[in-house]
Structure 1
């Protein structure tokens, strides 16, 4: 199974997102955090991720005659590498982006289903900004963002900390400076 096919399945995406916080989990703990996924389905997808090396088994112990494993997300293995990304077709990218957006919608629905929802207090937001950047300026922006985020990724769960999901989408706007948008004219002097 290709890396993209492995990682972009909706159930496997939810399992991976659950493990993004860096904490190890048994399958029982994953079931408790993902109660809407049938047990057999969850076990099957966890096994696929472990066989592919995306999840590492960090502990095992017997529970009533069965072996219970504790899993950890192997960060580097949970990414689609450049070669696999380059091999994806436009339809593959559409499916991948649809899975990504569906995951965002599900996360937002789970947030809105809480008893108390206060977007300002909870730091929830969704915005879009238009930036005019050269390729070099874009590279600098992405480098800066990666550094800011990377500095906070090692934060462990602790009193006062709330797990926050940061999702990004960066797309070209379709226009280059000096070109006319439909219905727009430029005055030449």
Structure 2
């Protein structure tokens, strides 16, 4: 299998996206831990994808320990390495963006499906929600809103697991509407 040629190719593979998602929020996991969280991914495939992410600097080895004659590594994600900057985004084709958005939404659908497969599902109790709002904003107002959201979310991404804390996913999409007369 050929190595990905761009950051987008590397990061937008469905299995690699799931590996990265499992490690968000400061999680540190071994490949065995990842296999438990991604039971539908064949072990050899999982090891191959983890290796690619390590080679690219997206995953870092935070610790190692000897286990039955082999070395067990614990990984963490380097969030800076997952960011597709303006240069990478500018070189992506429309089809690349379509694939990226499809992978993003497929990831959300997969998470929601796994949530719905639980024994007990209570959207209100679990604080599960999905909604859409139309906002009339200038570019400057949108930039201000996005800055406020980024600051608010960044403040909370520093939280670590603890009593009463549940790992949650917050996903955002900002799109211009195709409204006549605007």
TM-score range relative to shorter protein:
over 0.9
Q: 1:114 aligns with which of 112, 118, 124?
A: 118
Alignment partner of 1:174 is 2:178: yes
Correspondence for 1:160: 164
Instruction: For 1:24-39, list aligned pairs within 5 A.
Output: 24-39=28-43
5+ residue gaps in structure 1? 181-189
In the TM superposition, residue 159 of structure 1 has moved relative to its aligned partner by 0.9
Instruction: For 1:3-42, list aligned pairs within 5 A.
Output: 3-42=7-46
5+ residue gaps in structure 2? none
Q: Which moved more, 1:55-64 or 1:83-92?
A: 55-64
**Aligned residue pairs, count:** 178
Matched residue SS, 1:139: helix
Q: 2:141 aligns with which of 128, 137, 144?
A: 137
In the TM superposition, residue 122 of structure 1 has moved relative to its aligned partner by 0.9
Distance in 1 separating the partners of 2:121 and 2:63: 37
Instruction: For 1:64-143, list aligned pairs within 5 A.
Output: 64-143=68-147
In the TM superposition, residue 82 of structure 1 has moved relative to its aligned partner by 1.5
Aligned-pair Cα RMSD in Å? 1.1
Structure 1 residues 105-130: Cα deviation after superposition (integer angstroms, max 9, x where no partner)? 10000010011111111111111111
Larger Rg: 1
In the TM superposition, residue 175 of structure 1 has moved relative to its aligned partner by 2.7
Matched residue SS, 2:89: helix
Distance in 2 separating the partners of 1:141 and 1:175: 21
Matched residue SS, 1:160: coil
Correspondence for 1:55: 59
Distance in 2 separating the partners of 1:46 and 1:136: 40
Distance in 1 separating the partners of 2:134 and 2:68: 57
Matched residue SS, 2:17: helix
